[in-house]
Structure 1
Amino acid sequence: MKNVLSFETKLSQAVTQIENKYSKTRVLEAGEKIFDFLEPQQNIYFSLNGIVKLFKIDRIGNEIAIALLPEKSFFGLSSLLLDELEQKYSASAVTPVKLISTPTFRVRQELHKSPELSSLMIRQLVSRLLNAEITIEFLRMQRSQTRLVSFLLILSRDFGIKTNAGIEINLRLSHETLAEMTSLSRVSVTKFLGQLRHQQMISIYRQKITIHDPKYLRQYYKIPDLLS
């Protein structure tokens, strides 16, 4: 069987070819901004470790979460298609993060050498856009508890590991982080998580949340089935 490499693997190979000469390594503390949507976006980023948050700012200045990215993720990919002044989102470190950045034009040169890689890039961008739209839609829900549950379901989709107890979200998430990602207060997050634990819908061990039955949780809170 032909070995088909993933988009991230192929792009990683392209970045590796120019990494030593053109890339820079950065180490960021939790909460530190990586780039702002107002800044010209001139680099592609690859996280070596840590969790990165992508977000937008609405008209009244509130953050709207777009995605949480695990380690070994590329971001800033829209700079390959958009003008430098058209960057549409910001990025910051949720946990301590180590990343490398490579000038966009160098990555673009590698993409021009491979039509297959360019096609994979477009599919990856479309997939991320669709997931971002779903995330934004659910996080706009009026009821605070439903918003938190929706976000947990999104995390279980993107970071979930199947265990005997259910789906474990393979991220260490503090109440403060969940509050920031859902635009809720930390007190509200603590209260709602406590209610979910009391209802035996979730369990938490060392900041990792396990959803015992995601389908039942979604149905109980009447959340549309758009997360699969």
Structure 2
Amino acid sequence: MAGVTSGFSRYSPHPSRKEALKLGNLVPSEDKTLHQVIRGLDGASIEIVARSKTIFFPGDPAERVYLIRRGAVKLSRVYESGEEITVAMLRENSLFGVLSLLTGHRSDRFYHAVAFTRVEMTTAPATSVKQAMENDPKVGLLLLQGLSSRILQTETMIETLTHRDMSSRLVSFLLVLCRDFGVPKKEGITIDLKLSHQAIAEAIGSTRVTITRLLGDLRSSGLVQIERKKITVFDPIALAKRFS
């Protein structure tokens, strides 16, 4: 995916920063962030993906590792029936696309990765990441910490989808978004994502009509407010108790 394709762009660090990056490589890895480590690898780049554009499809070669700098990415599993189930909503500093690192050999993508918002990522070839891990065990530790966060997000999403009652599933999803994308405000917690009813329906395996009705019920109950596709939860604890 070189160049600019379907809202996707990649660019290497600006030439004026090359020397700075070389100097940065002299800094002990324990003093670096994961972004700094990946950015300093051979073949690293910054990639920008427009909202709703695909980052990779299932079956694509797993050749690069991604770390979100800004924005949100939706990971989903596509089944033979055509059904697509969301397995994670990834926020800033989330690591993904690491399958080839885990298997130790060339792999194909398992998930469908889509930019839920406009996304900026630090990315590097899997071969460079593996080489860095072999050269410095501390790099492996940083990657493990990033991967642990990613696994936790997946487990949380799967737990959300285990609710058979769609009202409980929606509430659980909103609470996850409050935790991962919530911005505290005077009136409550505002989810810092523009969420269409269709996008929510696709994320939790429902329909737009059902989500519209359920969100209307929550709004009528005084539990949420929706303005310009941004949802504010007035009291997450009260919302959780109401549907526990």
Q: TM-score range by the shorter chain?
A: 0.7 to 0.9
How many pairs are equivalent?
Answer: 215
Contact kept in structure 2, 1:202 and 1:212, CA below 8 Å: yes
Q: How far apart, CA to CA, are the structure 1 residues paired with 2:46 and 2:33? A: 20
Q: What RMSD, in angstroms, separates the aligned Cα atoms of the two structures?
A: 2.6
Q: Which of 46, 57, 76 is the equivalent residue of 2:78? A: 57
Match of 1:160 in 2: 182
Q: How far apart, CA to CA, are the structure 2 residues paired with 1:48 and 1:14? A: 13
Q: How far apart, CA to CA, are the structure 1 residues paired with 2:92 and 2:151? A: 19
Query: Structure 2 regions of 5+ residues with no counterpart?
Result: 1-27
Q: What is the correspondence of 1:134-213 to structure 2 with a 5 Å cutoff?
A: 134-213=156-235
Match of 1:122 in 2: 144
Q: Secondary structure at the match of 2:193?
A: coil
Question: Which has the greater radius of gyration?
Answer: 2
Match of 1:81 in 2: 102
| Counterpart residue type for residue 225 of structure 2 | S
Match of 1:16 in 2: 39
Q: Secondary structure at the match of 1:81?
A: helix
Q: How far apart, CA to CA, are the structure 2 residues paired with 1:196 and 1:6? A: 47
Match of 1:225 in 2: none
Q: How far apart, CA to CA, are the structure 2 residues paired with 1:79 and 1:148? A: 33
Contact kept in structure 2, 1:78 and 1:125, CA below 8 Å: no
Q: Secondary structure at the match of 2:124?
A: strand
Q: Secondary structure at the match of 2:238?
A: helix
Q: Secondary structure at the match of 2:142?
A: helix
TM-score, normalisation: structure 1: 0.81
Match of 2:67 in 1: 46
Residue 111 (1) aligns with residue 133 (2): yes
1:54-101 CA deviation, whole Å, 9 max, x = no partner? 111245332121222234543213332224326432211223434453
Q: How far apart, CA to CA, are the structure 2 residues paired with 1:25 and 1:13? A: 12
Contact kept in structure 2, 1:54 and 1:92, CA below 8 Å: yes
The alpha-carbon distance between structure 1 residues 119 and 96, as it changes in their structure 2 partners (threshold 3 A), is closer
Contact kept in structure 2, 1:155 and 1:169, CA below 8 Å: yes
Cα shift at 1:105: 0.9
| Counterpart residue type for residue 15 of structure 1 | I
